[in-house]
Copies of this chain bind each other. A is one copy, B any other.
């Protein structure tokens, strides 16, 4: 994909072009931590482990960019997504601190990655990881485990996209997001409505109306647009069959 391919993975200038072709967000989230990333880093293996700072809506890499590096979120939130030629966007996942993204098998990144908010990202050299895995049984097992867990998450996402109605989609999103929130007290949504919509295959208006509807049913409360109090988490979970 065009536009901001001068980003990280390609050049050394870690200033991504303004991303934001269109916006929408939601919660998929990578659950995994790759402990060998920490290990390798501490041992100084991937000398690259450099830290990058981004403001919101910056492209980290684009679809089709050479996949030389992969990344770990240190602070902030990152989304990976696909754009159709007419601008429609599907968000694949959100990545929280500790989550790894951008790992590929082929030569290129298959999705784009962008920051949702101000974020600090650590980059690693893919080749270093491959070398580590080649000599380390534990590392290659973790690598496989990481991929399979991502796969499981993608499959669950497909069910939500294909077979659930708007209320169920939003409920699933909130339930997922809550699982990664520090306090189950009040959820802080780091992303705008557009991201939630693009994650769930809806429009911002439908997301907004659904929030209102859930509030009407006393399942949630919206102190502000970005803060959600789950008054009845069990009731929400119940909406997922």
Contact = CB atoms under 8 A, between A and B. Distances in A.
A206 interface: no
Given A148-B104, A148-B105, A157 B159 contact: no
Nearest to A147: B147
A186 to B, nearest CB: 28
Interface in A157-209: 157-159, 161-164, 198, 200-201
Interface stretch (A13-21, A88-96, A117-125, A211-219): A88-96
A89 B158 contact: no
A151 B144 CA distance: 11
A201 B161 contact: yes
B86 A241 contact: yes
Residue of A149, A151, A198 with most chain B CB atoms under a 10 A cut-off:
A151
B151 A147 contact: yes
A34 interface: no
Given A137-B134, A144-B144, A241-B84, A163 B105 contact: no
Each complex incorporates copies of this chain amounting to 2
A154 interface: yes
A237 to B, nearest CB: 13
A118 B202 CA distance: 38
A222 interface: no
B105 A144 contact: yes
A200 B159 CA distance: 10
A163 B82 CA distance: 10
A127 interface: no
Interface of A: 82, 84-86, 88-90, 92, 103-105, 110-111, 133-134, 137, 140-141, 143-145, 147-152, 154-159, 161-164, 198, 200-201, 241
Which 6 residue pairs across A and B have the least CB separation, nearest first? Answer: A162-B201, A147-B147, A154-B154, A161-B161, A105-B148, A85-B241
16 contacts: A82-B156, A84-B159, A88-B163, A90-B158, A90-B162, A103-B148, A105-B152, A133-B141, A134-B137, A140-B140, A143-B144, A151-B154, A158-B161, A161-B201, A162-B198, A163-B198
